Structure 1
Amino acid sequence: MAKPLKEDIHTEFKSSFNDAVIESLSAFANTKGGRVLVGMTDKGTPVKGFTLGSETLQKWINEVKNKTQPSIIPDANIIHINGVDVGELTISEFPIKPVSFKGRYYKRVNNSNHMLSLSEIADMHLKSFNTSWDSYINPEKSIDMLSLEKVNTFITNCNNGRQYIIADDPLTVLNKYDLIKEGQVTHAGYLMFARNDVFDATIELGRFSTPTSIKDGITIRSDLFSEVELVLDFVRKHINKSYIITGDPRREERWQYPMDALREIAINMIVHRDYTHYGDSSVKIYDDYIEFFNPGRLPENITIDQLLSGDYSSQARNRKVASAFKEAQFIEKYGSGIKRIKEGFANHGLKQPVFENFQHGFRVLVYAQDDSLLEETVGKTVGETVGKTVGKTLRGTSAAVFFYIKDNPHITREELAERAKLSVRGIEYQLAKLRKLKLIERIGSTKGGYWKILE
């Protein structure tokens, strides 16, 4: 006897034909296709005594067709399993989705069917027509609710540094970018150029001393372009900034976090937010980390690992918004933001951010270096060594790296990275800074040489 079959993401077993068969076929049509074997037990063996009449398959096909919308027509065949006839109903992924069964919508997840949420139904429908929610007209808004001054600012950003500039008036530009259609405003047009508050774009900003104790907070409801700067202004207000004395006439400013990377996070949050969800975006600043949260999870076909490795095809939830941000040079290249965020934190000597699906949305956590522990351990030793040279310039991570080198001049970059809890690239940044301050010098080759402490 052959080995029993198993149910999976593409296969379902049913002992007889009923509504549950049609539900599974609609779920397969909404996902990646699949088949239902009728006349099979849950254990993957044929049902004893199951029979198929000459008109049975055609009746099943007709019932599937009549109970689904848009109507789907499966391929029907009789197959032989262990010498028993079994009905096989196969359906491919349907091009126009979602397919409903009795007014309900399902998807296939692993070996079971799950009902689609309202947002999933909307997303599936929009993707079927190669469009997105923000390209549709907002019937509650009108052109006089838009700020043409903001459109002019958008045009200026688009033209900055480019050979071929936009010379059209604001209304013509809005029409050319399909942000207004036949005299009506699209969702994207209103979100980006609204004259007054945009309640659908609310972002809650807070500075917390503990998860339940807030020290400062504001709510912003501006147009999307303005929100980028408003978020960053609030972050700057509540994070630390130090000045590095390098010997040059000017001081070098260094924020607690890499601001270019935080800007990328803020832009991604605003561009990829699910604006159809009732929840708000939020930014929560704590003593040693910041949390960015956004309604709207990653697409199901993109995993966190793929996001971090860049092994995916970029899918903009709000295609018109993403396109406008790219034209205005807020976005450099689709799908490259995560890479720049990771590089920014590595170059800053900080641990990598955490990206994760969280509740009904997506969350990014970024961490500051815990300078207090490092300073407590190495502060006195390093202070005595380099205090006269650079004063308070060297502290935290830089102080720790200097101390490890002083303690072991033959220490490798990899060993420094392990001890300082940084990436090798982060260590490279710290070494370059120590060299610039003329505190260390490399003697000999990378492998066989050593670090010399400069007096």
Structure 2
Amino acid sequence: MSSESQNIEWKRSWHDDYLKWVCGFANAVGGTIYIGKDDDGVLTHLENHKFLMEALPNKIRENLGIICDVNLHDEAGKKYIEIGVNPYSVPVSLRGRYYYRSGSSKMEMTGNTLNEFLLKKAGKTWDDVIEEGASLDDIDDNSIKRFIKDALKSGRMPNDIGELSTVELLEKIRLLDHGKLKRAAIILFGKDPNRFYPNIKVKIGRFGVNDADLRFQEVEEGNIMELLKTVPNQLNYKFFTKPIDFEGLLRIEKDEYPVAAIREMLLNALVHRSYMGSMIQMRVYDNKLTIWNEGLLPEGMELESLKRHHISRPRNPLIADVCFKAGYIDSWGRGTLKIYEACKEMGLPEPEIISMDGGILVTVYKDLNNQVTPQEGGQEGDQAGGPMEDLTKYIEQLQKEFGLLSDRIILGKETNIAFLRGNYGVITGYLRKKYGRNTEEIRKKYGRNAIDILMLFMLEPSIRSKDIAVILGLAASTIEKVIAKLKDDKVIEREGSTKSGHWKIIEQK
């Protein structure tokens, strides 16, 4: 029996609170609610089906203002009701509240999420709205000149754009409507975007082994044209061991990170972020670099699709279009592909892109094997001074800092996979390179959580499957199935008894 999904919901009996589910389906892609089935989709029979067949259409119409198909079904003498909800092009509310179906759960939309939803239903995007309080005096001339220079260089704008006045240029790139500036104009060219919107900034922090070890930080603010210059400068000046030439994209990489990857990470964050949310955050560690921006993927797009060619669906299309004309991005949805490709060409571990705290977190890793300086006479691999010894010391340091994962669970401390990836991500990079499998191969063969399970075994070899289940938010039986496959293929082996033993990851030849 299939589980509940994006457009299916099962309920044993009716409760008026389920009008929220109807509202959520109507505001999303539509769906079906079955009344008289349990959580596994098994029929349970609906005793009051006659009453509900009369009451439900009226309840839905009176409370939501929409019409739904309500049908009664009979299977082997067991009655159940099917409520078919169509997607609506206008926003649907329940007693002044708006709900949305996301994945297999219902969410109430508030704040910025609700604003973006209402704009979308009205056929507009956030950056296309007129900023009534802005005038041409708020536009920075130097930023306009920088755009013209880059657009001419890219060949994506006519050669005569340098002859246009600021008004004519803004009208041409659709940032001015009847003499009034749109929000995109302020974000791209504003003298002080933070006067209009909060957090038009990029915060950069230098951390040690974990997020508790903040060594120093800087904040850059300004319009996109300025941030594309000041953020790389700040990274080179204060955060990177080896300065990077952000203009020399075609040269052979000799740096800690590929230029193309960092540039695309910053551009993606600036173009796709939610501009009414938190500022962009970059974290530089000893072994990795991360960037986070608020705003989730477009509806219907999965994280896995970012690894292949996908349709470009920018959150801020006007901003994206100007960045395209300036030659900063292309319009084919290849930004994330460039990140993966740049790291692969440089021989680095595969980057990670995950959703976290209402936004997207992108992580690129250094090559762990190149970070270790072997002792004189040391041998490659697990010999003295080699990468494995260095990694072992790194894990011991983390365990000393955070304690055992199983102890953290018992104490009720924060332990989830996003937390672990953020603090221990270097280990996953080590696993991919050391054991000769990339992430996609491991996921296809053993399941999408296999690499995380291997990481947890390295952090705590004696960890129990039920503790892993808590960390990953899965059933213990699911974890045990993955472990069984890994054991059968001799990726891992058990040393000692079930109670007092531990797991060992087997070196792959």
Deviates most, 291-300 or 327-336: 291-300
1:343 matched to which residue of 2? 341
- Find the partner of 2:143 among 150, 154, 157: 150
- Identity, % of aligned pairs? 23
User: Which aligned pairs between 1:286-435 and structure 2 lie closer than 5 A?
Assistant: 286-310=285-309, 312-370=310-368, 374-376=372-374
Distance (whole Å) between structure 2 residues aligned to residue 422 and residue 358 of structure 1: 26
Residue 75 (structure 2) pairs with residue 76 (structure 1)? no
- 2:170 aligned with 1:174: yes
The partner residue of 2:126 within 120, 133, 139 is: 133
Give the aligned partner of residue 184 of structure 1.
Answer: 180
Aligned length: 372
Is the contact made by 1:136 and 1:186 (CA closer than 8 Å) also made in structure 2? yes
C-alpha RMSD of the superposition: 3.4
Cα distance in 2 between the residues matched to 1:146 and 1:154: 13
Q: Tell me if 1:30 matches 2:27.
A: yes
Secondary structure, counterpart of 2:89 in structure 1: coil
SS of the residue corresponding to residue 218 of structure 1 reads strand
Pairwise mapping of residues 218-257 of structure 1 onto structure 2 (< 5 A)?
218-237=218-237, 238-241=239-242, 254-257=254-257
Residue type of the alignment partner of 2:60: V
Which amino acid counterpart does residue 203 of structure 1 have in structure 2?
V
Q: Which residue in 2 is equivalent to 1:200?
A: 199
Tell me which residue corresponds to 2:471. none
Task: Check if 1:284 corresponds to 2:277.
Answer: no
Summarize deviations over 1:67-91 as a string: whole Å, max 9, x none.
11xx211123333333355543311
By percentage of residues, which structure has more helix?
2
Deviations for 1:325-376, whole angstroms, at most 9, x for unmatched residues? 0011000233101111111112222212221112222111222223666431
* C-alpha separation in 1, matches of 2:274 and 2:106: 24
Residues 74/188 of structure 1: CA separation in 2 closer, same or farther (3 Å cut): same
Give the Cα separation in 1 of the matches to 2:349 and 2:2: 46
Displacement after TM superposition at 1:215 (Å) = 4.2
What SS class does the counterpart of residue 113 from structure 2 fall into? helix
Greater strand fraction, Structure 1 or Structure 2:
1
The Cα shift of 1:94 comes to 1.7
Q: Secondary structure at the match of 1:35?
A: strand
Instruction: Answer yes or no: is 1:265 the counterpart of 2:265.
Output: yes
Structure-1-length-normalised TM-score? 0.72
196-205 or 284-293: bigger deviation: 196-205
Cα displacement (A) at 1:57: 4.8
Distance of aligned partners of 1:301 and 1:111 in 2 relative to their CA distance in 1, 3 Å threshold: closer
Structure 2, unaligned stretches of length 5 or more? Answer: 245-250, 381-385, 388-431, 439-509
Q: Encode CA deviations 1:296-323: one digit per residue, 9 max, x unaligned.
A: 233352222121233x322211111111
Name the CA distance, whole Å, in 2 between partners of 1:117 and 1:21.
19
- Conservation of the 8 A alpha-carbon contact between 1:192 and 1:223: yes
Alignment-derived partner of residue 413 in structure 1: none
Cα separation, 2, equivalents of 1:381 and 1:15: 67
Pair 1:214–1:103, CA change in 2 (3 A) = same
Matched, 1:19 2:12: no
Q: How does 1:106-117 map to 2 (within 5 A)?
A: 106-109=99-102, 112-117=105-110
Question: Cα–Cα, structure 1 residues 223 and 65, in superposed 2: closer, same or farther, change >3 Å?
Answer: same
CA pair 242-231 structure 1, distance change in 2 beyond 3 A? closer
Instruction: Please state how far the C-alpha of 1:127 moved relative to its aligned partner.
Output: 2.9
Partners of 1:118 and 1:342 in 2: how far apart?
Answer: 34
Decide whether aligned partners of structure 1 residues 149 and 420 sit closer, same or farther in structure 2, where only a CA change above 3 A counts: same
Flag the structure with larger Rg.
1
- Cα gap change, 1:145 to 1:102, in 2 (>3 Å): same
- For residues 38-59 of structure 1, what are the alpha-carbon distances to aligned partners after superposition, in whole Å with 9 as ceiling and x for unaligned? 56677632223x3527xx7565
Task: Measure, in 1, the Cα distance between the counterparts of 2:300 and 2:12.
Answer: 28
Q: TM-score of the superposition, structure 2-length normalised?
A: 0.65
Q: Contact 2:129–2:182 at 8 Å: present in 1 too?
A: yes
**Partner amino acid for 1:323?**
D
Give the one of 83, 86, 92 matched to 1:92: 86
CA distance in 2, matches of 1:207, 1:114: 35
User: Which residue is 1:411 aligned to?
Assistant: none
Structure 2 Cα separation of the partners of residues 254 and 372 of structure 1: 12
**How many Å separate the matches in 1 of 2:434 and 2:35?**
61
Q: Distance in 2 between matches of 1:134 and 1:110?
A: 26
SS of the residue corresponding to residue 80 of structure 1 reads: strand
Letter of the structure 1 residue corresponding to residue 219 of structure 2: T
Secondary structure of residue in 2 paired with 1:290: strand
Preserved CA contact (<8 Å) 1:241 1:254: no
1:7/1:13 contact within 8 Å kept: no
Q: Which amino acid aligns with 2:119?
A: L
Alpha-carbon distance change, 47 to 58 in structure 1, aligned in 2, over 3 angstroms: closer
